[in-house]
Amino acid sequence: MRKLAVDVAIIGAGSAGLSARRSALREGASVVLIDAGPLGTTCARVGCMPSKLLIAAADAAHTVREAALFGLETSLEVDGPAVLQRVQRERDRFVGFVLETIEEIKAAGELVSGRARFVDPHTLRVDDHTEVSAKSIVVATGSAPFVPPPFRGLADRLLTNDGVFELERLPESVIVVGAGVIGLELGQALNRLGTRVTVVDLADIVGPLQDPRCKRSALEALSDELEIFLGYQLHSVEGDAESVTLRFSDADGTSHERRAQLLLCAAGRRPQLSGLELERANIGYEGGPPPPVDPLTMQLGQSHIFLAGDVTGEAPLLHEASDEGHIAGRNAALHPEVLAGKRRCPLSIVFTEPQIAIVGKRFNQMSCDDHRVGEVDYGNQGRARVMNQNRGLVRIYGEVGSDLLVGAEMVGPRVENTAHLLSWAIQKRLTVGEALEMPFYHPVVEEGIRTALRQLQTNLRVARSPSSECEEFGPGT
């Protein structure tokens, strides 16, 4: 058995682990990176990048289909294998860049290939070939798709995001289980590329949205293209060599049956802790969900163990994984000293059309006494109408007294850009008045948020009328 002793051992060469490595090295620590493979990061291999590549093709198809509305004569033929080949080619290119970095790490003797598990608080065993002892350990093992028990027996009729980008042909039909971010993005993309898609979800969710009015707006827009059943009850699922049959009732109790070539399970992702034997790390962990970490230091209690990325179970997003890796890596190197890292304004985007985004504080964190809302409906917004993308709703939240912008939920055209503007404004602690002093070009979709900001400014001056205003924020605090 090979034995290594380092200052910092990092488990997981994903986005969080790679970022942790850079930060630990910057602090002068000796580092080893352990990964079980496949290498290349979830983001580049099976996540952010291939999904956006598929969506780009789907949106192009949709644009052609909509062309007649602008008076353009076109015809469309989707060459499924060619679509998937481009997705795979470009995906491989992105993965290639990561692999180049990993090759350098390997050449420096800082990579150990294999599955790590704790032997004791400071010792990791990698498969059965290497033992690593480390002063501090960063756990950056990511997350894996969760497949609920009823679907586990579907064998090759079952897909997750790990397999969908490996397909050689676009399926004729797919049942997507899960109306979260991944289910909606992939479901709409496949549907736009000609696959017949049905999306089902046990819960009444639309991506990450919490604001009921934004949820309604998003559901209306997406349901125009996609068959979506929220609050469904599963009766049975059966698979054979060619198809999957799902029997279920919808939220009203009406029974349905859908048969499809494949079932794409997008029922959430779970932190990858199993097999790690974290119980042996002497931190009071006895299995189950990840133990809570301090989001400013990524430290587990007062221990020498730090968590970063999807494994925390907190915000499974690429930029959060990188930031957390940076904080965890630096603190692992500095331990027992730990420094609070900087966290950014929360920002998440769903690349459906219309797009969905959430910025800053969420709807459920608002209270009737302390917050007000201003909104704009994109139905009549000038530029949105010009582009025939006039759907959606932006709701911006402000704080009574300080007049600060605190959050927003939105669905609408190009809200990826609107969400960025608002997140910068929130992080810079702009008041609603200060945001309104900023330039707004004409005609752009961002003009819409000026309307919402003006309404918010007015509402912030109004004392709450007990019933109507409070409905904006549900039961309140």
Ligand X SMILES: Cc1cc2nc3c(=O)[nH]c(=O)nc-3n(C[C@H](O)[C@H](O)[C@H](O)COP(=O)(O)OP(=O)(O)OC[C@H]3O[C@@H](n4cnc5c(N)ncnc54)[C@H](O)[C@@H]3O)c2cc1C
Which residue ranges make up the site for ligand X (CB under 6 A)? Answer: 11-17, 34-37, 41-43, 46-48, 51, 115-116, 140-142, 161, 182, 272, 275-276, 309-311, 316-319, 321
113/111 Cα distance (integer angstroms)? 6
How many CB atoms are located within 10 Å of the residue 251 CB?
11
Minimum distance, C-beta of residue 21 to ligand X, in the bound complex (Å): 11
Minimum distance, C-beta of residue 105 to ligand X, in the bound complex (Å): 13
Residue pair 124/131 in contact (Cβ under 8 Å)? The answer is yes
429/15 Cα distance (integer angstroms)? 29
Comparison of 34 and 293: residue with beta carbon closer to ligand X: 34
- Gyration radius of the chain's alpha carbons: 24
Q: Burial of 268 by CB count in 10 Å (0-12 exposed, 13-18 middle, 19+ buried)? A: middle
Comparison of 29 and 43: residue with beta carbon closer to ligand X: 43
Comparison of 139 and 404: residue with beta carbon closer to ligand X: 139
The torsion angles phi and psi of 336, rounded to 5 degrees, stand at -80, -5
Comparison of 150 and 275: residue with beta carbon closer to ligand X: 275
Residue pair 194/84 in contact (Cβ under 8 Å)? The answer is no
Comparison of 50 and 374: residue with beta carbon closer to ligand X: 50
Minimum distance, C-beta of residue 70 to ligand X, in the bound complex (Å): 29
Residue pair 363/210 in contact (Cβ under 8 Å)? The answer is yes
Helix axes 15-26, 80-107, angle to 10 degrees: 30
Comparison of 317 and 415: residue with beta carbon closer to ligand X: 317
Q: Which residue is nearest to ligand X (CB)?
A: 14
Minimum distance, C-beta of residue 288 to ligand X, in the bound complex (Å): 17
Minimum distance, C-beta of residue 359 to ligand X, in the bound complex (Å): 14
* Angle subtended at Cα 49 by Cα 45 and Cα 53, rounded to the nearest 5 degrees: 120
Comparison of 144 and 202: residue with beta carbon closer to ligand X: 144
Minimum distance, C-beta of residue 141 to ligand X, in the bound complex (Å): 4
Which amino acid is located at 56 in the chain?
A: A
Minimum distance, C-beta of residue 164 to ligand X, in the bound complex (Å): 8
Residue pair 366/407 in contact (Cβ under 8 Å)? The answer is yes
360/344 Cα distance (integer angstroms)? 9
Minimum distance, C-beta of residue 437 to ligand X, in the bound complex (Å): 31
70/68 Cα distance (integer angstroms)? 5
Comparison of 15 and 299: residue with beta carbon closer to ligand X: 15
Comparison of 144 and 436: residue with beta carbon closer to ligand X: 144
Residue pair 425/435 in contact (Cβ under 8 Å)? The answer is yes
Minimum distance, C-beta of residue 352 to ligand X, in the bound complex (Å): 11
Q: Distance of alpha carbon 319 from its chain centroid, rounded?
A: 10
